[in-house]
Amino acid sequence: MTGLSHGWWIEQDGRARAVQVQADGRMKSSPLFESFHGIGGRRDRDLTATPGDLARAYSCAVWAYRCIKLRADAVAGVPLMLVERDGARIEEHPLLTLLHDVNPHMMNLGDLLRATEAAFNIWGVAYWLKVQAGKGGRRSAGRPVRWLVWLNPQTIEPVADPVRGIVAYRQTAGGRTRELAPEDVVVFRNFDPLDDLGGLSPLSVALSEINADLNAARFVASFFANDARPAGLLTTEQPLHEAEIERARSWWARLFQGTRNRWKTGIVGGGLKWQPITYAPTDLALKDLRAEDRRVICAVFGVPPGLAGAWESVTYATAREQKASFYEDTILPQLEYIAEVLNWSLLPHYRDLAARGARLAWDVDGIAALRETVSEKAERLARLYEAGVIRRNEVRAALGMAALPAEEDGFAGERAPASAVPQPEEAL
């Protein structure tokens, strides 16, 4: 990858140094804030799909930032567990210890997953470095992993052979370059039909709409910075040479433009007349255009617009439905992919786990958005009871209620006290 890079340079002993380098490996002296936020006029042009511009898009495009953060926080918030072949949970193992304390530079696995999911959406690819236990940095498939370290994709370049595929990952940072063995790198990659080595960035797919939304925002800001007054023309019936036109433009700008010159009375001489260009801002339909841009941006990231705040009015029921849809359609498939990558990359380092068929899996039962409310559960059970699918005591057990005597149990239609089957409101 080209352009300015930021990230951690991890020494063989595990020490980390924050770095900021150019593509040629030389240190860049400008602060991180400038590179990400476009000081010096970088924001005045449209963003492109270069790695640096994608980073800037994340940092300055409100809806892209919101969508990526929602995804990153959702992925980081689901517990990762180790289970046996039959699904039984494993409570203690060195792999669990590693996942609890991933490295000295991050608080926990959640931080690592949050950075990974953000990078995946910004650049279409994310990398971890497996720092293995052992002297002299020696590595083998059966040696446990000591640390898992996030690598900034802007510092990584895959090295490929036409026959063998990827043979190394070249990291350039801090004026130094080194090659990392493929078996030492965990790779999360979004399929790109045009790039066998990189990944398709969801953020790059949404760049057209992001640019449109940013340009609309710049227009509105500029409009109100000029006291909500549109531009106009200086007209004359006399022929003007180019030098005269430039002098008139400079004179007008010097006297009447800018906040310090607001409300000054304009006096136009020399045969010039001021002709304002008038229009109603509503004629531009900026609100509708920006709303459509936001919907498209949200769609690219798989985030319901209401969840991202792109709808003006969202009811509680609608918000709940959108959150459930967000997890079912976007987060759960992504979690499945991450688990597949981790099982393929980490389990070979723990032969006992591989031998017994253990695997890493997500504890999705704790996701609040996917849990039924008590009333919803009661209504569903009541429907099953009325359809003759379940008995009265099955309904009560599912709701945490005491069982009825055996003679009062049974299916719908069978003789029973009126109080035998709880109504939805009773379960609240």
Of the ranges 88-92, 140-144, 194-198, which one carries the lowest mean pLDDT score? 140-144
Long-range contacts of 192-198 (CB under 8 A, 24+ apart): 192/124, 196/160, 197/158, 197/160, 197/166, 198/1, 198/123, 198/124, 198/125, 198/158
Structural domain ending residue among the three candidates 215, 247, 277: 277
Helix, strand, coil percentages in the chain from 3-state DSSP, rounded to 5? 45, 15, 35
- Cα torsion angle, 46, 202, 183, 13, sign: positive
**300, 419: one domain:** no
- Host H or E run for residue 19: strand 16-21
209, 217 in Cβ contact below 8 A?
A: no
> What radius of gyration do the chain's Cα atoms show?
30
- How many domains does the chain fold into? 3
Of the ranges 113-127, 293-307, 339-353, which one carries the lowest mean pLDDT score? 293-307
When comparing pLDDT for 53 and 421, which is higher?
Answer: 53
**135, 241: one domain:** no
82, 93 in Cβ contact below 8 A?
A: yes
- Residue 329 is given by DSSP the state I
**15, 148: one domain:** yes
**194, 78: one domain:** yes
pTM given for the model: 0.68
**Domain enclosing residue 331, as ranges:** 1-227+281-370
pLDDT at position 13: 44
pLDDT at position 361: 95
Residue 168: pLDDT band with limits 50, 70, 90: very high
Residue whose pair of structure tokens reads 């009871």 in the numeric block:
385
Q: Report the C-alpha gap between 234 and 244 in whole angstroms.
A: 12
**32, 143: one domain:** yes
Structural domain ending residue among the three candidates 239, 260, 277: 277
- Cα torsion angle, 325, 328, 330, 331, sign: positive
**336, 378: one domain:** no
- Residue 3 clears pLDDT 70, i.e. is over it: no
Query: What's the whole-number mean pLDDT along residues 233-246?
Result: 66
**94, 55: one domain:** yes
**110, 124: one domain:** yes
- Taking residue 209's Cβ as centre, other Cβ atoms within 10 Å add up to 23
**54, 200: one domain:** yes
Q: What is the pLDDT of residues 14-30, one digit of tens each?
A: 444 444 434 444 434 33
Per DSSP, what are the bridge partners of residue 160? 166
Structural domain ending residue among the three candidates 370, 391, 418: 370
**205, 257: one domain:** no
**243, 344: one domain:** no
Smallest Cα–Cα separation from 281: which of 375, 216, 233?
216
**312, 272: one domain:** no
102, 147 in Cβ contact below 8 A?
A: yes
